[in-house]
Amino acid sequence: MARLGFLTIYWRDMLRFVRFKTVLVSSLVQPALWLAFFGIAMAANFDRLAGSVPTIPGVPVVSYLTYMAAGVIAMTTLFTSLFGGIVLLFDKNWGLMREIMASPLPRNDVIFGIALSGMTKSFIQAGIIMVFGIFIGAEFFLGYSAGQTFISLLGILLFLGIFSLGFLFLSAAISISLESPEGLQGIITLLTMPIFFASNALYPVNAFPPLLQIISGINPLTHLVNGIRFFAIGDDFQSIGIHYTATTGEIALSLCVLAIFAAIMFALAYWRFQKAVVT
Amino acid sequence: MEERTIIEVDGLVHRYGDFLAVDHISFGVREGEIFSFLGPNGAGKSTAINVLTTLLPIQEGRVVVAGHDVSKNPAKVRESIGIVFQEVTLDRDMTCREILEFHGRLYSMQREERRRRIDELLELVALDHKRDTLTRHLSGGMKRRLEIARGLMTRPRVLFLDEPTIGLDPQTRLKMWDYIKAVNEEGTTIFLTTHYMDEADRLSDRVSIIDHGKIITTGRSYELKNMLGEDLVYLETSDNSATRALLEQLESVTRISEKGHGLVAVVNSDGTRLLPHIMETLGQNGITLETVNLKKPSMDDVFVHFTGKELRDEGAERPVTTAARAGRR
């Protein structure tokens, strides 16, 4: 029989996710609100400023709302994934982790189970933002055939999946090593700031100072946003006066960066879990 | 019946930094028995149980559970045992059925077997009417029963119970003992830790008294009590030191100790016959007797005898203990 122990952990986490309607609804509504308020407000400003910049002839123009909707999907995935491991910390503090640690279930299955449920939550949120974004005017999949849209969606899910796994592994590793949820919160806040703002999620990185450009270049969030824009908007467009092109090779490279990041984070989580003693 | 050893511990040592929590303990548990670790809080009981259940890595010594060495084959040990932890470890947001379902899945039980076992166990612990109730809505006794059911889910050969009745009211404790006995009669070996004398006394086949990380003595509870002699005589007199000198001359008095305002004499003959003689002797020597009491040794006395002190209870748990004791009368 195939060993599918991680599905047990997955099952329990999803059970609790759908059981609590307030948590469920707020986690789904919150990213939509981000897009609605921040997106529309910023789009109005950026589009007005961009109006004074001459457009490059022959290149499709994309509204700021469309541009940043991809960023909001990425940002939501980042937050959800970084907090995805916190359930392990609560389980540890409430003593529930002991049942799992004293069972024959391999510890890798705990990591995979939690990562898989976190990934599922991210997919649901991303789906909601996309639908809501298109509803308020984000021009995703413009001019795509049904087949192209389907393939693009798969591409987006692939990028989101690998990205969220990386940060979920990191979150699991931190959670199993810490004693208090406050500590985790502190670390996550410390991490999200640079990751979020030193990326191309909300604005172009072209005007960044060189150091910030380097950080942005190795930032997984930047590579996720590259992937989402490539699949949702296209490989050749302009927004807020900047011309974006992407080759398949560049996108493949972005995917590789995410995969390497996820692999390193898994190694970290594996190490922390092997060392973990829960009594 | 052939007696086989299911838990073998040899020279177990466990340290937290410089603190020696478990100090070279060795013992064996026979298959099918109820075995107790009796000792005060902080004696090292939980540390020992955590090593035996593979939650703590073994530092020194050798532990074999159900035929598997905990250091060489922890996964096999885990498959063979069930554990009920000292604190409640139930997810408040899951139902009774889901708690058992999750546990069965953790141990790779097949769907059909899980379903059957959940039905059986919910009936055994009388929780079938709470099947789809979230555990947050269960009473303390119900939670404990559900945890015992969970510990039995995989039909373990040994069930570990760490302070199984801590914080429960007297009636619930009595019922809990019945459940534990019923489980034992079905063939599961039970290893329990407790700091309640009556629990160790009434529930277990054999008891190890543990204090400061060491096993002080092991035996059946009546054997331990008999080691103290036949009866205990408690006396309060106008002159305790003179009384002591007189008692020491009596052949059947084996040991004298001070307790409260009086003296306790351990006697190895029938106390009811000895007592009139003692009273007469005291009267002849001009000593006034203020209080007298005669009783059979209890586990408390055994504990005092072997450790030289009362079973110390940490303040927080005192009201529970007192209530539980009062309820027994």
- The Cα-based distances of B329 to A22, A247, B169, B246, B324 in angstroms read 49, 85, 14, 35, 10
Nearest CA in chain A to B160: A102
A96 to chain B, any CB pair closer than 8 A? The answer is yes
Which pLDDT tens digits describe chain B residue by residue (329 residues)?
Answer: 456 899 999 999 999 989 999 999 999 999 999 999 998 888 899 999 999 999 999 999 999 999 999 999 999 999 999 999 988 899 999 999 999 999 999 999 999 999 999 999 998 888 999 999 999 999 988 998 999 899 989 889 999 999 988 878 888 888 889 888 988 998 899 999 998 888 888 899 999 999 889 999 899 988 888 777 778 888 898 888 888 888 888 888 888 888 888 888 888 888 888 888 888 888 888 888 888 888 888 777 888 777 777 655 443 333 333 333 333 33
Vertex A154 angle, CA A149 and A158, to 5°:
145
Residues of A with Cβ-Cβ distance to B90 under 8 angstroms: 96
Candidate from A15, A95, A103 with C-beta closest to B98: A15
Structural domain boundaries of chain A?
A: 22-52+62-275
Q: How many cross-chain Cβ pairs, A to B, lie less than 8 Å apart?
A: 68
Helix, strand and coil content of chain A, in percent to the nearest 5, comes to 75, 5, 25
State how far residue A158 is from chain B, nearest Cα, in angstroms: 29
Nearest to A71 by CA among A254, A202, A224: A202
Residues of A with Cβ-Cβ distance to B107 under 8 angstroms: 103-105
Residues of B with Cβ-Cβ distance to A7 under 8 angstroms: 105
pLDDT at residue number A3: 65
Are B102 and A11 a contacting pair at CB < 8 A?
A: yes
Tell me phi and psi for residue A204, to 5 degrees.
-70, 150
B25: amino acid identity, one letter: I
Candidate from B98, B106, B150 with C-beta closest to A105: B106
**Residues ≥6 apart with Cβ < 8 Å to A229:** A67, A70, A244, A246
State how far residue B44 is from chain A, nearest Cα, in angstroms: 14
**Cβ proximity of B257 and B264 under 8 Å:** yes
pLDDT at residue number B318: 34
Tell me phi and psi for residue B293, to 5 degrees.
-150, 140
What domains can you pick out in chain B, each with its CATH number?
A: 5-224 (3.40.50.300), 229-296 (3.30.70.920)
Are B106 and A278 a contacting pair at CB < 8 A?
A: no
Interface residue of B85, B102, B114, B146 to substitute, partner A, most A CBs within 10 Å: B102
Summarize pLDDT for B276-322 with one digit per residue, the tens. Answer: 888 888 888 888 888 888 888 877 788 877 777 765 544 333 333 33
Fill in the DSSP letter of residue B41: T
State how far residue A9 is from chain B, nearest Cα, in angstroms: 8
pLDDT at residue number B311: 59
**Cβ proximity of A164 and A80 under 8 Å:** yes
Residues of A with Cβ-Cβ distance to B54 under 8 angstroms: 102
Nearest CA in chain B to A110: B106
Summarize pLDDT for A42-53 with one digit per residue, the tens. Answer: 888 877 777 777
Q: Rounded distance, CA A111 to CA A118, Å?
A: 11
pLDDT at residue number A240: 78
Residues of B with Cβ-Cβ distance to A276 under 8 angstroms: none
pLDDT at residue number B96: 96
State how far residue A265 is from chain B, nearest Cα, in angstroms: 25
Interface residue of B56, B68, B89 to substitute, partner A, most A CBs within 10 Å: B89
A278 to chain B, any CB pair closer than 8 A? The answer is yes
A170: amino acid identity, one letter: L
State how far residue B309 is from chain A, nearest Cα, in angstroms: 29
Task: At A128, list the tokens.
Answer: 């909601």
Tell me phi and psi for residue A129, to 5 degrees.
-65, -40
Candidate from B56, B78, B98 with C-beta closest to A103: B78
Q: Which residues of chain A have pLDDT under 50?
A: 1-2
Nearest CA in chain B to A95: B89
Residues of A with Cβ-Cβ distance to B82 under 8 angstroms: none
Residues of A with Cβ-Cβ distance to B53 under 8 angstroms: 102
Residues of A with Cβ-Cβ distance to B150 under 8 angstroms: 99
Strands B34-38 and B206-211: parallel
Are A19 and B105 a contacting pair at CB < 8 A?
A: no
pLDDT at residue number A8: 94
Residues of A with Cβ-Cβ distance to B78 under 8 angstroms: 102-104
Beta strands in A95-245 (DSSP E): 236-239, 242-245
Residues of B with Cβ-Cβ distance to A93 under 8 angstroms: none
pLDDT at residue number B11: 94
Summarize pLDDT for B33-52 with one digit per residue, the tens. Answer: 999 999 888 889 999 999 99
Fill in the DSSP letter of residue A37: I
Are A277 and B57 a contacting pair at CB < 8 A?
A: yes
Nearest CA in chain B to A3: B108
A94 to chain B, any CB pair closer than 8 A? The answer is yes
Vertex B103 angle, CA B98 and B108, to 5°:
120
Summarize pLDDT for B174-203 with one digit per residue, the tens. Answer: 888 988 898 899 889 999 999 888 888 889
Summarize pLDDT for A150-207 with one digit per residue, the tens. Answer: 999 999 999 999 999 999 999 999 999 998 888 888 999 899 988 988 998 888 888 8
Report the complex ipTM.
0.87
pLDDT at residue number B319: 36
Nearest to A235 by CA among A166, A172, A155, A173: A155
